[in-house]
Amino acid sequence: MDAEPTATPIQRRFMAAATSGPPSDKQRETVKKLREATVLLAEYIDDLVPAGRNKSLALTALEDVQMRANRGVFADVDDR
């Protein structure tokens, strides 16, 4: 099963590196929910925080949070 057709090259690369096999439907749904929540928070930050270094750092940190959460979805049970 390939990555979502709408996935960016970076997303496809991460999905391929994150799991030894194709993602399950449950993993895909979990990642989708995490992405939706992350995008919503990013939109709030973009709308409410004045432009500047702290806004940029907040958005960068949010990207890190999303990637770490995604890795957790694909982590082996022994890694938890």
Encode pLDDT of 62-73 as tens digits.
999 999 999 999
Whether residue 9 is contained in a domain is answered as no
What is the domain extent for residue 29? Answer: 21-74
Total tally of structural domains belonging to the chain:
1
Q: Does 15 map to a domain?
A: no
Query: Pick from 29, 37, 36: which is nearest to 4 by CA?
Result: 29
Residue 16 lies in a domain: no
Among 79, 77, 71, 75, residue whose Cα is nearest residue 31: 71
Which tokens is 26 given? Answer: 């449950």
The pTM (predicted TM-score) of the whole model is: 0.67
Answer yes or no: is 5 within a domain. Answer: no
Q: pLDDT tens digits, residue range 16-75?
A: 554 556 788 999 999 999 999 999 999 999 999 999 999 999 999 999 999 999 999 988
* Long-range pairs of 47-56 with CB within 8 A, sequence gap ≥ 24: none
**Burial of 35 (C-beta count, 10 Å sphere; 0-12/13-18/19+):** middle
